[in-house]
Structures are given as structure tokens and as C-alpha cells.
Structure 1
Amino acid sequence: MYYPNTIEKICYDEKHIEGVVEEIKVNFPSYFERCIEFEEGSEISLLAGQTEKTAEVGCGSAVKMKVRNIRQILTEIMTKGIEKFNRGRLGYLELLNIEALEEFEDSPAVFKSALWRECRIIQKSLMSKSKELDKFQRDFNLANPNDLLTVCRNISTFSSWYTEEFNDVDYDSLKGLASLKLSKLDTEEYTVVRVLGGGIKSQFLHKLQPSYFPYRSKEAIWALWYLTNQKDFDCKEKSQFLMISKEKSAITQNYFYPYELFGYYAYQVYLLLKKEVFNAK
């Protein structure tokens, strides 16, 4: 049985969304600067990202100071990010393309085996000794292979449709939540309860088409919490991004956070990052 995302209705309110976006814009510059400073502290960046410049100070005395090459530092960050992204990507591309999925129609059990063998996120989750993943490991083992195959085929089909749909669209000028057309991904058709949820299916989409689909990782959800200055925006649960259990004294990411909302906020961060990259010197 499919269960809906645990998200309050106010989170879809237009004014609420505008408030979240404005808060992200306010806090983005300080976090961007901290990101540069962090990368700058690495050995590579100190060699490639900075140069020494002699400056006149006071009565003609000269001192040497570090001059940051922001563009070089950003290039390093992106290069490392691309290298990390490409690790294990081939398995996703080979398994989750439409033609390959059609070949598994008569053998869904074989597909289930290939899923944990070829998709690193599934493999790592199943091999993890973390207590947090005990339920996932049990539920994956019990999952119906036909359901897994059907949902993966739907995800792959959606990915192909989406890239064609936005191929000739001025992507950087889209306005409003509905403009990104991601709502279908939060429906039963694209979910295997407790097995292929928001995080894993977003990883599938991200590996297939990284230009269009952000990865709704644990770190990304926490990042939105920090970028919004930990404000609740009138949510009764105090945070739409976190799940807070007073009984267990535990705080985790909201595992059920809708991909449609996440995708829209990630899109806003993308626009801010793109501006910084093009203005970097």
C-alpha cells in the first residue's frame, strides 16, 4: 500500500515557498564563501588556487599577501564533483535504460539481482551494517521483483520524456513550482514503498540525467535546513526538512520529503551557483 509524503499542506503554499526561496537567497552568500574557504584550505588549492602578490604598505614597505583565484578554486570543486559523480555511473546507465529494462520483462527476479549488483546506492545500503538500514535491507529482500522492474521502467521513461520536454525550453527562466513538472515523481507509480523512495529514485534520475535531476541525498536535505537558517516557516512540525522525535531524542532528514519541492529549491540554488561561477575571477 502506498503512503503519502509526510509534509504539511502549508509547504505547498505559494507565499510559503517564496519565503523559503528568499531565505535561501539571504543565506547563500555566506555559505558560498565558506565553501570557497574550505576548498582553499586543501593542499591542492593552496598551490593552484592562490598566488602571491607584493603590495606597498605604509611608507613604501612591501608585504606579500595571498590573492585568491576564485575561478580556479571553483574549477577544482567542479572537477572533483564530476569525478565523484562518474564513479559507478556506468552500471546505472546500462541497467536503467529502456531497452535493457524491456529485456527483463520475462525475468524480473534477475532484474532484482542486477539492481543490487549494478546500482551502487542499492549495493551500499544492502551491505551496510548501520542499524538505520536494517529495515531497508529487510524490505528490499521482501520486495516484489515485478514492482521493482515496473517502477524502474517508469522512472527511466519519465527521464527520457522530461529531457525531451525541456530540450528547447529556456530552463533558467522557469518560474513557480509547477513549471518544473516534477509532481508525478511523488506518486505511487514511481514508488516502491520503503524500497524505492525519494532518495534512491532521485539517485537513479540524477545518474541518468544530471543536468535535470538533482540528487535528494541526506546531505542535500540538511543543506536546505541550514540555507533556510533553520526556520520553521510556520510549520507545526518545526521543520519541513527534518524529522524530529522528542520521544527518541532523535533528529534525521525527512525521508519522505517530496521530490517536487526539493527539486524546486535545488533549482533555486543552481541559479545562485551559476551566477557565482560566471562572475568568478
Structure 2
Amino acid sequence: MHTPHMNLGERGYEREHIDTVLAAIRKHFPTYFATFALTAKKASEAFQTAVAEWRKELRDYEKFLDPDSLEEYEDDPGSFKSGIKSRCPIIRRSLNSPASDMKKYKIAFKLATGADLLRVSKNIAAFGRKHIKSFDDETHEAMADVADLGLGDLLEEDYIVYGVIGGGIKSHLLYSLYPNAFPNRSRSAVWALYFLSGKSDFGFKDGSES
């Protein structure tokens, strides 16, 4: 589901801040993991269930973000609005959600143009294909600076439809195709980090949810 965009400012990307958050997560992780997986068997079952859930929608995302499929809309970009609504699982769920806090999302989607949605979807898909070609698991795990991740371009205007495709949707699209290379910044994932980091605000004026 759509996750509201949060602007952490420069400090959110600083090494010192990241190390502080990681230290908090390392401290609290064992306690939460123990409640998540009471036994090795339950842990295995939980992971298998998560993988099965991911695979269930993989084909839908592969079809939706296929370059040839997206290119078909170039002659009539306006029609992409109905296309993304019906063919993209995360967009469909967001628009069909009865939650009151999704009203703004639905309004933003209504105001968005098919051309903008198509342009950004194509850019995100192209970014994913390019990024995964040079992605290496060991190199990725050894990185110590946010800039080294090579994801900075995703913050640019070319990858955003304000109110519709922001950090949450963007990360979900890329994660759905390349789960080894992109994190899923879903609402539940953000809340998980909130608890794992000890519900600390880390000095941010907007509180610990940031």
C-alpha cells in the first residue's frame, strides 16, 4: 500500500545517524525476532510463507513493467491510467483500500495524468534493469555510505508522481522484481523499523516515525 513520503533532510543520510540507528536495531532485534520465530521450524515456515506471497504477484509485476508492454501505451498515454489501475497490484490495492487515510491518495491519482504515470513507470522500470546488471550481493553488503548504493537518482523528479508514486510505491515496484537488490519500504516495513529502533525519535522534530 502507498506509504506517505517522509523527508528526513540531509541528516537522515549521514553516517553518524545511520550508525546510531543500526546500533539501536542490533540491540532490539533479538527480542523481536524471538517473538517472530519461537522455534526454528516456525521461522522456516514464516520465511517460506513470505516467499510464496512474493511469488504470487511476481508475474503481474513482470508483465506490468515489461518494456515492450509499457511501450504499447506510447500512442495513447492517457489510457495508461486505467492500465496501471487494473494491472499493477500495489496501485490497485491502494485505490481499493477502504482506509480513510487513503482518501488523499485516491484524489491524487484522479488528478494525475496517464502521461505522467507512464513516464515515471518507464523510468522506474529502466532504472531497475540498469541497476541489477551491475548489482553484486557482497559488494552491496560491504557498502558503508548511502551514496555508494547508487539509488540517488530515484529521488529525482523523473521518478516521482507526487501523491501517487513516491518512495513507498517506487520501492515496492523495484522490490517485486529484484528483492535481493531493493528493499520494500512498505508501511509495515517502516513500522517494523520504528519498533526495532526502540521507538526513538533520534532528535528529529517530527518524532520517531521519521
TM-score (norm 2): 0.90
Q: Counting strand residues as a fraction of each chain, which structure ranks higher?
A: 1
More deviation in 171-180 or 14-23? 171-180
SS in 2 for 1:193: coil
| Pair 31,5 (structure 1): closer, same or farther in 2 beyond 3 Å | closer
Please list, as runs of the form range in 1=range in 2, the aligned pairs for 1:185-200 lying within 5 A after superposition. Answer: 185-200=154-169
* Counterpart residue number, 2:201: 232
Task: Give the TM-score of the pair, scaled to structure 1.
Answer: 0.69
Deviations 1:212-250 (A, max 9, x none): 1111111111111111101122222232x34xxxxxxxx
Q: Distance in 1 between matches of 2:186 and 2:149?
A: 19
Q: What is the Cα deviation at residue 195 of structure 1?
A: 0.7
8 Å Cα contact 1:95-1:101 kept in structure 2: yes
Instruction: Give the conservation status (yes or no) of the 8 Å contact 1:111–1:149.
Output: yes
- Asked whether the 8 Å contact 2:36–2:43 carries over to 1, the reply is no
Specify the code of the residue in structure 1 equivalent to 2:203. Answer: D
Deviation for aligned residue 1:168:
7.8
Equivalent position of 1:10 in the other structure: 11
- The equivalent residue for 1:35 is 36
Aligned counterpart for 1:123 among listed residues 78, 88, 92: 92
1:48 aligned residue: none
Change (3 A) 1:8 1:168: closer
Report the Cα offset of residue 167 of structure 1.
4.1
Q: Against the structure 1 CA distance between its residues 179 and 9, is the aligned structure 2 distance closer, same or farther, given a 3 Å change threshold? A: closer
Report if aligned partners of 2:108, 2:163 keep a CA contact under 8 Å in 1: yes
Identity %: 34
Higher helix share: 2
> 5+ unaligned residues in a row in structure 2: which ranges?
none
Measure how far apart 1:135 and its partner are. Answer: 1.7
Q: How many residues align?
A: 206
Tell me the amino acid that sits aligned with residue 220 of structure 1: A
Paired position in structure 1 for 2:112: 143
What's the Cα RMSD here? 1.8
Residue of structure 2 in register with 1:46 after alignment: none
Partner of 1:63: none
Q: SS state of the match for residue 134, structure 1?
A: helix
Higher relative contact order (CA 8 A, sep 6+): 2
Query: In 2, Cα distance between the equivalents of 1:120 and 1:100?
Result: 16
AA of the residue aligned to 2:14: D
CA apart distance, 1:169 = 5.7
Please give the secondary structure, in 1, of the residue aligned with 2:71: helix
**Other-structure match for 1:176:** 145
Q: Structure 1 residues 13, 175: CA separation in 2 closer, same or farther (over 3 Å shift)?
A: closer
| In structure 2, C-alpha distance between the alignment counterparts of 1:131 and 1:36, rounded to whole Å | 33
Q: Deviations over 1:13-60 (max 9, x none)?
A: 2211111111111111111111112xxxxxxxxxxxxxxxxxxxxxxx
